[in-house]
């Protein structure tokens, strides 16, 4: 990502229905596997789907009032560039098309269940969809069988084999990330730690291992190269585990602020870190943990957290700026040197 030394900052023209610049804080940002679509959600419960091309982000499709609460999580269907799932504080996961049309609702928790869904995640092969509720239940659905329910895992009742005392009903699931292949294993971050490794096999979800060394997980990252797992925390530490032996091997402690987002570059060489308050988002070398860039004007606002996401296909970063109100991006500056001087 040498483009960081020769980069250009641009902003998306994000207007509301009245034509005014949207000032509702950004909640999350995600990019599809081909890098042709970018989604950001806002506190006003909207979803914005952007076309991404060499000229930048354009032609947003706006979905108003997508859920009963702000959309907290988006997961792209990995087998297509144009379908995605959303979760937003109600009892359904919604599957959308990139043109803004609703494909289907998936009820989470059964009829009459008032549990609120906060996270959704497709396995890398697209075969399984996970939905996570605020009450600590993980539901697994068979995508290939019309999203039929396979099984569930209740954090509050997981006091059997493979658990520890710290895994109690006081824990909140803060993030969930699959391994890079298949649909056998995924990681679960808890508000009080540790990180759970859960196996899906024979239509059962089983806790198989615990990653210790992080007390308050806020977000998770699985390295695209498969070398490490990283976890952000409330105390401002990004902890790393080697995937070869699942050993806690190092920590990034340069900024004493709660971590709000983690993302890695397409080649896994850089890790991008967003903070909940007080600091701009930053880019670090994932091997040496040396800071490579501080992203200007990317601090969180009063009602927002800093969000930063890397493209999976090219050297571009998308992030929240202007106290979380504006969607901006950094890319290589292709202009001639004389033109750069005149900017």
What CA–CA distances, in Å, run from 84 to 69, 115, 125, 235, 264?
18, 21, 14, 32, 21
* Whole-number Å distance between alpha carbons of 322 and 301: 8
The class (CATH top level) of 2-341 is mainly beta
User: Residue 89 is encoded by which pair of tokens?
Assistant: 């504080």
Tell me the pLDDT of the chain (343 aa) as tens digits. Answer: 456 777 889 999 988 777 788 889 999 999 999 999 999 999 999 999 999 998 899 999 999 999 999 999 999 999 999 999 999 999 999 999 999 999 999 999 865 456 799 999 999 999 999 999 998 999 999 999 999 999 999 988 764 444 444 444 467 999 999 999 999 999 999 998 889 999 999 999 999 999 988 889 999 999 988 899 999 999 999 999 999 999 999 999 999 999 999 999 988 899 999 999 889 999 999 999 999 999 999 999 888 899 999 998 888 999 999 999 999 999 887 654 555 555 4
* Whole-number Å distance between alpha carbons of 21 and 236: 32
pLDDT at residue number 336 = 44
133, 226, 234, 137: which is closest to 185 by C-alpha? Answer: 226
Whether 133 and 89 have beta carbons less than 8 Å apart is answered as no
Give the start-to-end residue ranges of the domains of the chain.
2-341
């Amino acid at each position: 990502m040498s483009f960081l030394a020769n980069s250009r900052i641009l902003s998306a023209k994000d207007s509301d229905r009245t034509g005014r610049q949207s000032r509702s804080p950004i909640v999350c940002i995600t990019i599809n596997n081909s890098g042709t679509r970018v989604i950001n959600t806002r506190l006003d419960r909207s979803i914005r789907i952007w076309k991404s091309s060499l000229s930048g982000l354009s032609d947003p499709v706006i979905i108003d009032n997508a859920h009963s609460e702000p959309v907290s999580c988006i997961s792209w269907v990995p087998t297509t560039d144009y379908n995605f799932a959303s979760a937003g504080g109600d009892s359904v996961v919604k599957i959308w098309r990139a043109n803004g049309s609703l494909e289907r609702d998936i009820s989470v928790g059964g009829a009459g269940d008032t549990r609120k869904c906060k996270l959704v995640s497709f396995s890398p092969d697209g075969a399984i969809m996970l939905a996570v509720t605020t009450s600590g239940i993980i539901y697994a659905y068979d995508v290939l069988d019309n999203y039929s329910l396979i099984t569930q895992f209740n954090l509050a009742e997981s006091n059997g084999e493979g658990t520890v005392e710290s895994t109690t009903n006081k824990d909140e699931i803060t993030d969930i990330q699959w391994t890079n292949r298949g649909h056998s294993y995924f990681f679960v971050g808890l508000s009080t730690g540790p990180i759970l490794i859960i196996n899906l096999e024979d239509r059962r979800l089983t806790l198989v291992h615990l990653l210790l060394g992080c007390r308050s997980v806020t977000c998770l990252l699985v390295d695209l190269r498969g070398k490490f797992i990283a976890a952000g925390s409330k105390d401002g530490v990004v902890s790393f585990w080697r995937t070869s032996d699942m050993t806690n091997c190092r920590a990034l402690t340069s900024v004493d602020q709660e971590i709000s987002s983690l993302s890695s570059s397409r080649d896994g060489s850089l890790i991008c870190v967003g903070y909940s308050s007080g600091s701009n988002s930053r880019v670090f070398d994932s091997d040496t943990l040396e800071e490579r860039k501080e992203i200007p004007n990317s601090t969180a606002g009063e009602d927002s957290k800093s969000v930063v996401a890397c493209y999976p296909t090219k050297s571009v970063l998308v992030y929240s700026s202007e106290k979380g109100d504006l969607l901006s991006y950094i890319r290589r500056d292709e202009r001639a040197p004389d033109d750069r001087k005149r900017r």
